[in-house]
Every structure is written in C-alpha cells, then in structure tokens.
A and B are shown apart, each in its own frame.
Chain A
Amino acid sequence: MNDQLYQDRIVSLAKAKTGAGKLANPTKSARRDNPLCGDRVTIDVKLDDGGKIAEIGHQVRGCLLCQASASALASVAVGRNAAGIEKVRLDAERAIGREEGDPGEPFSAFAPVKAHKSRHECVLLPFEALKDALS
C-alpha cells in the first residue's frame, strides 16, 4: 500500500465536523456542486453589521477531503469578511501547491493532497460556496 493521502490530521479534521449543519436564520446561503464528481457543499452564514461572519454552518455531500476542508474553513471563518476569507483560501491553495509559500494552520494538514491533482477541487469546493455566500 502507498497511502500518503489520508493522514491522521485530515481524517481528524473531517471527523471534527466543525461548523457542520444548517443555520436557523442565515443572512446568506450558497450551494456549490462539482459536476465532475457530484460533490455538493451548502454554506450558511450569519453576518454582523460590519459584514463579518458571526456564525457559519456547512452541509457537505462529498468526500472526506471536502468534509475536512469545510471543517477547517469553519474553524477559522468567524470574525472574517470576504477579504479575510480570501486570505484563508490562500493558505489552502498554498497547502495543495497552487500558490507559493507556507500555508497557515490548520491548512497545512492538506499538504498530502498536493500530489493528487484530481482531488484539489475537493479541498476548494467549500471556499467556492462560501465565496458565493459572501458575494
């Protein structure tokens, strides 16, 4: 077996399910599908008066990488506005090798995905959904 992808940190992030679930009265919601693999992410956010995320909820019908990414994103999203989320996305993109530089936490956990290009979109799909929700 040459299993480099499903390392403990990714599995732990997915199992933590941080932010998993619907919000009762979201300010905004968005759903994104990956038509190639069928993964689907729905993100609800409650925003404060300054446009910053006060609460986030996600529903993922997708793989472990997508679940782990949504969980990691939810763990750092509160208090950030759209620009702040773009900075977090940069960390995720650094982790999977799409951008130069060292990824911040917790996204360094996704470094094993770098070698699996077909799975990059699994990591980025929650970011796409959140971007839509914040736009």
Chain B
Amino acid sequence: MSFDVAAVRRQFPILAQIIDGQPVHYLDNGASAQTPDAVLDAVRTYETTGRANVLRGVHRLAERATEAYENARIEVADFLSVDPMEIVFTGGCTASINLVAYSYGSLLKPGDRIIVSELEHHSNIVPWQLLRQRSGIELDVVPVTVNGRIDLNALPRLLTPRTKLISLAHVSNVTGTLLDVHAVVTLAKTVGAKVMLDGAQRAPHGPLDLAAMGIDFYAFAGHKAYGPNGIGVLWAKSELLEAMPPFHGGGSMIGRVTFAETTWAPPPRRFEAGTPPIGPAIGLGAACKWMRTLDWKEAHAHEMGLVERLMDGLQKIDGATLFGPPSTQNRYPVVSFLLDGVHPHDVAQTLDSFGVAVRAGHHCCQPLMDRFDLDGTTRVSIAPYNDNTDIDALLTGVQHAARTLR
C-alpha cells in the first residue's frame, strides 16, 4: 500500500488553514514541525484532567500527572529503543547538549580534546567553546566535503589519546546529509572516545535504535519532532549518567539536603531539577507514540520522492543551484539551495507571498557558511505531511523570485 499523505495531513489541524486566501505550504519543518491531534489531545487531557506538579503530591491529580509524565519517558525510550531510566527530559536539544558539556565536561581535564565538525549547528559548537573557557579542553574540527558531508577521511588524523568525545550532527540541518555513525563509532573506539549525536534533524523521521548504534549520548528537540515547544531529550548510557554530576541544582534532583552536605538523586532525576516541563513532556511522549504509528519505510520514500521532485524542479530554474549533495542517497529531506543574484531572505520572503514557509539565512551554521563563502541559503525541510502541491507552490515562487528580483 502506498503512503496515504492525505490521511496524515488530516491529523494536523494547522495545515487545513487558509491564510489570506492561500493554503499553508509548510516547508520549514527543520526549524519547527507541526503537531498532530494526538499530541494536542494528550496535552489537553493533562491540562484539563490531570494538571498538577509531579513526584511530590499525594493527591489524585498529582498521581495522574506523575503517571503521565513517567509514561511519556517510556514512550520516548521505546522510540529510541533504550531504557527509560536513561531518558532525561530537558528544555530542548540545545539544553541537552549544554547539559553534557557542563556535566560530562566537568569530568574532563585540561588538554583533553573534543571533536566537532564544520557543519555543526551553533548549539553543538558554542557549549564546547564555553567548556574550553571553563576548563581548558581543546576543540578539533572535522572539515566538510564540497558536497556538504562531514569528511570522515579527515577524522583519523584528529584522533589522539586525549580525544574524549566526538560530537556530531546525525543529520545536517543545512544539507540533510546523514552521518556514517558506524564509521565514527569504529574510529572513536580506537582511542576510547565517547560519541554524541545531535539528533535534532533525524529524530523527526522515525524511530531509532540507539543501543545498536554504539553511541554514548543522543540529543533531540520536541518541537522539531511534532511535539510541543520547551521540551527536549538527552539520552545517555546509564553508566555515564551515573558518573555525571548535576547540571542544575534545586528540587527533585537531590537525595538529602543539609547545609553541610547534599547528595544527589539517581539519574534521570539528578538532571531534572525543579518542576519539569510536564505538559510538553507528555506531548512529546504522544508525538513519539504517534511517529511509531507511521510506516517509516513508506514515509521516508514519500519524503525523498518530494526531495527528488524539488531537485528536478530547481534544476530547471535558471540560476538555481543546490547546496549539498545532488542525490537522495544517505540523506534526509532537508535541501538547501541558492538563487544566483537573489539573497536567500528575499527568496524566502517571496515564497511567503505564495503561502510557502521556508527558512533562509545561515541556519545557525555560520562556520559552514564561512567555509563556502555564503551569506546563507534557502532551506526546504520536509515532513511526512508534505505533498506535491507544497513542492510545486515552492517552485512557482522561486521562478517568480528569479524573474522579478534580479
């Protein structure tokens, strides 16, 4: 059976809107995806039938809230094929990476080395630079190839016995390229380095088996994965979480507090100080459950079919060039392009007038833009609910920009 995109679209109420007489062609999923009824219903159920704080209350609403919150942890764990006690709820993907940089980072010594790549989002660069300022670690940078892939051929020469962590994007938020995780893990093992993946752009495209991947840390954001805003996930191997000190201090993360000494709660609670984002966590649990209802083999084929339609269409527009690999192999449905003589922001603004939402600019990847001497790109990021009409409206808009703005 072929992928029923209409059935998926019907579950996303925002897509049924008409704005200024135009349908919504939402192709900015890499920035923030839309959310289905299943998520909205779960959050509404919590807010209307079980809203209370978690863990400490003995009343019935508190028990409902705690159960829903912990069930969300199980849903996320099932989505990632890991133990729920290895799931830490955070405020977002950026917060997850900062947690690792602060907490795991505090275990590192001056002169220890961390490797990132040239295509990383600022959220996988700046936390390590802050760690470098705090504790004197060193940062090494893997370059990218001309096609916008992390150049793993360049990785071995960066590895040293002092390399403690390799932190890379699982899928690039600019080029959509998929990391060869197996190759990275194999190389990391030669020097005993841990591997962290920024999964912000991968998690929205189906369940993962983190345990089988051989990695150590994984981070992603709820709002890019059809969940609410203000929630993120950090997964780490239990032995790492056990060894890591707290990031934030406060309620819930303690064992026993005295003025002389305070002990820590076991993970994951050690890393969830204060009242967590309960409703958003419940919503993310519902989003993970919803994602598992899709046949991702079909959904991925559908998404990549749209990528092909997009690439074919762009190639027919004078002055339009792809930034990133020209094929659909080993990539996810994120596509950047340039329109000669027209700034990406003007392309995106013109597309908005056609009802098409995309992102333009540096995509929080200024080092990658510098590497290719670009002001920015226009980025199309696709979700399973997108269809041919979205791509065709975009191509019409790009043609219009090419005709009128240069």
Contact = CB atoms under 8 A, between A and B. Distances in A.
Interface of A: 1-6, 11, 36-40, 61-65, 67, 116, 119, 122
A61 B375 contact: yes
Nearest to B397: A1
Contacts of B366: 38
Nearest to B401: A6
A38 B375 contact: yes
Interface string B100-139: 0000000000000000000000000000000000000000
Given A1-B400, A6-B405, A37 B20 contact: no
Contacts of A3: 350, 353, 400
A90 to B, nearest CB: 25
Contacts of A6: 346, 349-350, 404-405
B369 A38 contact: yes
23 contacts: A1-B353, A1-B400, A2-B22, A2-B353, A3-B350, A4-B353, A5-B349, A5-B353, A6-B346, A6-B349, A37-B361, A37-B376, A38-B369, A38-B376, A39-B345, A39-B375, A63-B343, A63-B349, A64-B343, A64-B405, A67-B343, A116-B349, A122-B345
Interface in B15-65: 20-22
B362 interface: yes
Contact of A64 (B20, B21, B346, B369): B346
A37 B345 CA distance: 8
B3 interface: no
Interface of B is mostly: mixed
B361 A38 contact: yes
Interface of A is mostly: loop
Interface of B: 20-22, 342-346, 349-350, 353-354, 361-362, 366, 369, 375-376, 397, 400, 404-405
Contacts of B362: 37-38
B293 to A, nearest CB: 36
A64 B406 CA distance: 10
Contacts of B361: 36-38
A63 B346 contact: yes
Contacts of B376: 37-38
A65 to B, nearest CB: 8
Choose among B346, B350, B354, B369 the residue with the greatest number of A CB atoms under 10 Å from its CB: B346
A40 B22 CA distance: 33
Given A63-B344, A119-B345, 7 more contacts: A2-B353, A3-B350, A6-B350, A11-B404, A37-B345, A38-B362, A38-B369
Nearest to A3: B353
A103 B20 CA distance: 28
B405 A1 contact: no
A36 B369 CA distance: 14
Nearest to B20: A2
B321 to A, nearest CB: 18
Contacts of A5: 349, 353
Contacts of B369: 38
B347 to A, nearest CB: 9
Contacts of B405: 6, 11, 64
A33 B353 CA distance: 26
A9 B369 CA distance: 31
Choose among B345, B350, B354, B404 the residue with the greatest number of A CB atoms under 10 Å from its CB: B345
A110 B362 CA distance: 25
A10 B20 CA distance: 23
Choose among A37, A38, A116 the residue with the greatest number of B CB atoms under 10 Å from its CB: A38
Contacts of B349: 5-6, 63, 116, 119
Choose among A63, A116, A119 the residue with the greatest number of B CB atoms under 10 Å from its CB: A63
Contacts of A122: 345
Which are the 9 A-B pairs with shortest beta-carbon distances? A63-B345, A3-B353, A63-B343, A38-B362, A64-B346, A2-B353, A37-B361, A61-B375, A63-B346
